[in-house]
Amino acid sequence: MIQRIEKDVLGEVKILEDAYYGITTQRVLQDFKISGLKMNPKFLEAYIILKKACILANMKIGIIDPNLGNPIVQASDEILNGKLRDQFNIDAFQMGAGTSFNMNCNEVLANRANEILGSKKGDYKPIHPKDHVNMSQSTNDTFPTAMRIAILLKLKDLDTELKKLEKSFKKKSKQFDDIIKAGRTHLQDAVPIRLGQEFKAYGQTISKNRITILKAGDSCREIGIGGSATGTGLNTKIGYREEVLYQLNQMTGLNLKQAEDLREIMQSQSAVAEVSAALRNLALDLIRISNDLRLISSGPTSGLAEIRLPATVEGSSIMPGKINPSILEMLGMVSFQVVGNDLTISMAVQAGQLELNVMMPVMAFNILFSIEILTNAIHQTRIRCIEGIEADEKKCKHYADTTLGLATILNPIIGYKKAAEIVNRALKEEKTILAVIRETKILSEEDITRLLNPVKMTKPPPTQNKKKN
């Protein structure tokens, strides 16, 4: 195994000859063997996009020779096209603030750019990782900027899947719109409801969460690139910030904007917490919806069995023919993870001190992890579960006809107390509400037909549109 030797202020380190990373990365690989987890590929993509934008800006304002800048741009494009991805192996739990990841990018880009120019890896001539690739930059401003870009890029995919899930629920709501079933509150009998209404509500929940996430994502469009160290803009030149922003928007289409206060944007990572909170709220609703679907599909002979879920895999190693709601169980577990990630992110966001939050690597890892697993889980849930749900109309009608919640319609006629007596008698004698009403002759057959119509009970009176004064 051929190795080269690189030096820094701490001494010499041996590195594999064919490695594109350098001494800083090698030290980090040795010192931070923690989890085996890597930063999300989208984060790497965002960081390389940013590095490319910074080089293009520096060439535009004339502080780096294009003969040096263009090879760095070429190296950046190669990585964005999928090359050299194996050169980025730093653990997710790494140096504070993400300096190690920044230097990993600087070293790989420098070595590849020098290689393009005919130089050897590790010589850093004529291109140096810090002097050229990192020109006008600091980890202080590049890491949070890349994190926000990566979040916005990942949210695009999540948004697409949420739109599709919303559409799927609404399609089912139309399919099930005329199926009457028993409503339940406290898991006890309540007034009838249409199965389609339940699914329509699920779709509306997804829609509201999607909008909330988009609004939270907007807070990440404000970036502090050009702030350099501690938001001072030290070692940057006039026009640099504006040109980097222009290049980033050209490459990403994200409509990024400069932070109003470069110090605040480094001190506070509340924008990340805002996105994480929105993801957590989505996860909480997904848990609730998955639990509902598991409950009303329970059985098939000893549960509610109002709907049938698509069979995916055999559910038991010992009980023949058992099919479990496996996809929905997966969705629940993913959602639990997102809730846990949010706590980690919250703790990291509040841990900032003075001019910098050094806990950004764990923020970046967890927020991108949350977005990714939610995106994938929602996709699988939609295609492997929601779209294939079938209703058991007979079972639903049975529950609708026998629910004790039907007695609610009697309140305006005979009063709550007497209606409760009807319910108690029905329970004691194991009869339906309708049977007791007929026996007691509280209502005529005409009134029974008119009032105890489950379909009519599920349709509230229209709202009155009031004219504005």
Mean pLDDT, to the nearest integer, of 95-123? 96
Mean pLDDT, to the nearest integer, of 266-273? 95
DSSP assignments along 382-437, one per residue:
HHHTGGG-EE-HHHHHHHHHH-GGGGGGGHHHH-HHHHHHHHHHHHHHT--HHHHH
pLDDT of residue 453: 81
| Residues forming the active site | 316
Whole-number percent of the chain with pLDDT over 90? 89
| pLDDT for residue 469 is more than 50 | no
Say which DSSP state 236 is in.
-
| Alpha-carbon gap, residue 104 to 3, rounded angstroms | 18
Beta bridge partners of 194: 180
Q: pLDDT band at 5, cuts 50/70/90?
A: very high
Mean pLDDT, the chain, whole residue set: 95
- Spell out the domain ranges in the chain: 3-135, 141-227+263-313+321-392, 403-454
Q: Is there a shared CATH topology between the 3-135 domain and the 403-454 domain? A: no
Mean pLDDT, to the nearest integer, of 157-169? 98
DSSP assignments along 222-286, one per residue:
EE-TT--GGGS-TT--TTHHHHHHHHHHHHH----EE-S-HHHHHH--HHHHHHHHHHHHHHHHH
| pLDDT for residue 465 is more than 70 | no
CATH architecture of 141-227+263-313+321-392: Up-down Bundle (1.20)
Q: pLDDT band at 467, cuts 50/70/90?
A: low
Mean pLDDT, to the nearest integer, of 160-168? 98
- Is the bond into 126 cis (omega within 30 degrees of 0)? yes
| pLDDT for residue 468 is more than 60 | no
Candidates 3.40.50.300, 1.10.3720.10, 1.10.10.10, 1.10.275.10; CATH matching 3-135: 1.10.275.10
Q: pLDDT band at 452, cuts 50/70/90?
A: confident
| pLDDT for residue 147 is more than 60 | yes
Q: Which position has the token pair 């040109």?
A: 243
Q: pLDDT band at 302, cuts 50/70/90?
A: very high
| pLDDT for residue 109 is more than 80 | yes
pLDDT of residue 459: 83
Say which residue, 317 or 130, is predicted with more confidence: 130
Whole-number percent of the chain with pLDDT over 70? 99
Q: pLDDT band at 1, cuts 50/70/90?
A: confident
Mean pLDDT, to the nearest integer, of 399-425? 92
Per-residue pLDDT tens for 233-246?
Answer: 999 999 999 999 99
* The dihedral formed by the CA atoms of 136, 138, 140 and 144, expressed in degrees to the nearest 10: 80
Range in 333-347, 377-391, 431-445 the model is least confident about: 431-445
Mean pLDDT, to the nearest integer, of 333-354? 97
pTM exceeds cut of 0.85 = yes
Per-residue pLDDT tens for 380-408?
Answer: 999 999 999 999 999 999 999 999 999 99
Per-residue pLDDT tens for 121-139?
Answer: 999 999 999 999 999 999 9
Per-residue pLDDT tens for 6-37?
Answer: 999 999 999 999 999 999 999 999 999 999 99
pLDDT of residue 326: 96
List the CATH code of the domain at 403-454: 1.10.40.30
Helix (H, G, I), strand (E, B) or coil at 212: helix
